[in-house]
Amino acid sequence: MKKSLPLALLAIITLCCFLSGPITGILQVSATEADILARFQPPSATHWLGTDELGRDLFARLLTGGRVSLTVAFLATLIACTIGTLIGVIAGWRGGIADAALMRLTDFLIALPALPLLIILSAVDIQKLGLAPHANADLYKITLLIALLGWTTVARLARARTLTLKKMEFIRAAKALGVKPARIIWRHILPNVKSTVLVAAALAAGNIILVESALSFLGLGIKPPAASWGNMLSNAQDNIWEHASLAIWPGMMIFITVLSLNFLADAVQEEKG
């Protein structure tokens, strides 16, 4: 029961955002088409949440922006958890010099001020450098930057769980039977590390949404005219006193999504415990 409500909320939000194209097509509204004559319209049958400062449909932008923010969160979480799990399991299983080297690398990244570093790296325009002449270059850049700095917590948790599993009788029995280390890791270690990683992944996804929103709010993440919940908040700040709904809706979506992910992580942790 505790897990069903946040799962349902996340499923509804994700489904609506990733079906934004068909939904906006049925409603005959656009997330990018500006109409200066329709600026700041109130909610209506045509524009369910009204329009923004350029006359764009706010509901359409909310769904489209959610698709971008959730894509960054899911991809960055997947990459970060994959890197963190591999490093943590290898460090815990091998021990010795490998463990020391990998954990010192992890400690070094943890010691870095993540948000200021992300701000500096995000300010680099890779399209001007000719490294990524692609329409979605900002999305890929933000995803990789967050993932490459966000795997450390997963690595520590995976290492701790691996160290515990190494001492258990079924692992010792597998070693005594001559089972190869790679097979032990694949058949016994990784399945037992999975629940720990899932909890960390749910928490990480929530944090990544907040980080992406902060970077986009500062103008260093997803750039207009593409929408994300963060840059919708940034665009709303000039008109927030007269048209508060421009900030309320994306802020509410961020709040509900992150809260659902945190509740989901707590529910998984309780089940595991």
Residue-level pLDDT, tens digit, the chain, 273 residues? 577 888 999 999 999 999 988 998 898 888 888 888 888 888 888 889 988 888 899 999 999 999 999 999 999 999 999 999 999 999 999 888 999 999 999 999 888 888 788 888 877 766 555 555 566 777 888 888 899 888 999 999 999 999 998 888 888 888 888 888 888 888 888 988 988 898 899 889 988 888 888 888 887 878 777 888 888 888 888 888 888 888 899 999 999 999 999 888 888 887 765
**Domain 4-17+52-272 classification at class level:** mainly alpha
Two structure tokens written together for 12: 């509804």
Alpha-carbon Rg of the chain, whole angstroms? Answer: 22
- pLDDT value of position 32: 84
* Ramachandran angles phi, psi of 180, nearest 5°: -65, 145
Query: How far, in Å, CA of 213 to CA of 210, rounded?
Result: 5
Which helix (H) or strand (E) is 212 found in, with range? helix 190-217
Question: How far is the C-alpha of 114 from the C-alpha of 119, rounded, in Å?
Answer: 9
- What is the residue extent of each domain of the chain? 4-17+52-272
Residues 6+ apart with CB under 8 A from 257: 9, 10, 13, 66, 70, 206, 209
Residue 61 CA to residue 199 CA, distance in Å, equals 30
pLDDT at 129: 55
Nearest to 204 by CA among 111, 108, 77: 77
